[in-house]
Structure 1
Amino acid sequence: MADDPVPTLYDWAGGAPALHRLTEVFYDRVLADEVLEPVFRHMGPHHRAHVADWLGEVLGGPAVYTDRHGGYPAMLAHHLGLAISEAQRVRWAQLVAGSADAAGLPDDPEFRSAFVAYVEWGTRLAMANSAPGASPPPAAPVPRWGWGEAPPWAG
């Protein structure tokens, strides 16, 4: 119906189950990847689930990452000082985008465009925040990604 609201990317993707499948497929690939395995070889047992929670919140789902894991300040703390290289950023983006098919995420161009746009934006922000001497804002909202582009935020 014309009055139906537009679904969030989270709902369109299949909600939490789909994003948990994505992070399982993705991190299995990460651990087999020569560029990313050294960065993630010591990740904790809950890392995959936490990333799924982050993605869920970013894509318009419930605020699970904020409520359970500390929101933006916690995510920022995980990246500070990592000195993520461009090669690592690109490989992360490639692997997560490529994992979407195997995880059964929707393959329509509109969803994939929005998803890949977030991945590109988020990995560039993570790389910048991880740079030696970076001083990103210590508090910000978790970004909420939609079908268009990132909403502007001025901290």
Structure 2
Amino acid sequence: MFDESKTPYDLLGEKEGITKLVTTFYSLVSQDSLLSPLFPEDLTETAYKQTQFLSQFFGGPPFYTEEHGHPMLRARHMPFPITNSHAKAWIACMEKAMTIQKIDPDLQNILLSRLKMTAFHMVNTEDSERGENADTV
């Protein structure tokens, strides 16, 4: 069980812990046949921004906003065709990264619940193979 009086940012090990999580996450994304085409070959900048965003998202300092302004996640992701399948694959990679990083399972559930809402909010395209509606979770 984890200390619920601390922020997820603190519980994850602050910026260093989030950097490790993001590094693990993007190593999985780069190997995922569905997700890897959505990302640049060099994930350095992407991982840097993700670390900034997740630090802020999990209750830490507003690194992302300070450097890039308001996250405007949906607007920033609109140029990329994101389907429910992409959102599910993104969450699966994040869940696996959390498991690899040995994040407390109760904390994982809380974090994944928040991240799922965000991931599915990015969906802007229907899955073509199944005709799945982009609003379906």
Q: TM-score range by the shorter chain?
A: 0.7 to 0.9
Deviation at 1:85, TM superposition (A): 1.0
1:25 aligns with: 24
**C-alpha distance in structure 1 between counterparts of 2:121 and 2:93, whole Å:** 17
Which of residues 120, 123, 126 is equivalent to 2:122?
A: 126
State whether residues 10 and 56 of structure 1, in contact with CA within 8 Å, keep that contact through their aligned partners in structure 2: yes
State whether residues 50 and 65 of structure 1, in contact with CA within 8 Å, keep that contact through their aligned partners in structure 2: yes
State whether residues 16 and 56 of structure 1, in contact with CA within 8 Å, keep that contact through their aligned partners in structure 2: yes
State whether residues 81 and 131 of structure 1, in contact with CA within 8 Å, keep that contact through their aligned partners in structure 2: no
Deviation at 1:107, TM superposition (A): 1.4
Deviation at 1:76, TM superposition (A): 3.6
Deviation at 1:43, TM superposition (A): 5.4
SS in 1 for 2:44: coil
1:114 aligns with: 110
Q: Hey, which bits of structure 1, 4+ residues long, moved more than 3 A?
A: 41-44
User: Scaled by the length of structure 1, what TM-score is found?
Assistant: 0.72
State whether residues 31 and 41 of structure 1, in contact with CA within 8 Å, keep that contact through their aligned partners in structure 2: no
Unpaired runs of 5+ residues, structure 2, are 127-137
Which of residues 95, 106, 120 is equivalent to 1:97?
A: 95
Deviation at 1:42, TM superposition (A): 4.1
Unpaired runs of 5+ residues, structure 1, are 133-155
User: Scaled by the length of structure 2, what TM-score is found?
Assistant: 0.80
Q: Deviations over 1:64-108 (max 9, x none)?
A: 1100122223x344201322011111000000111012234x314
**C-alpha distance in structure 2 between counterparts of 1:98 and 1:63, whole Å:** 26
State whether residues 53 and 64 of structure 1, in contact with CA within 8 Å, keep that contact through their aligned partners in structure 2: yes
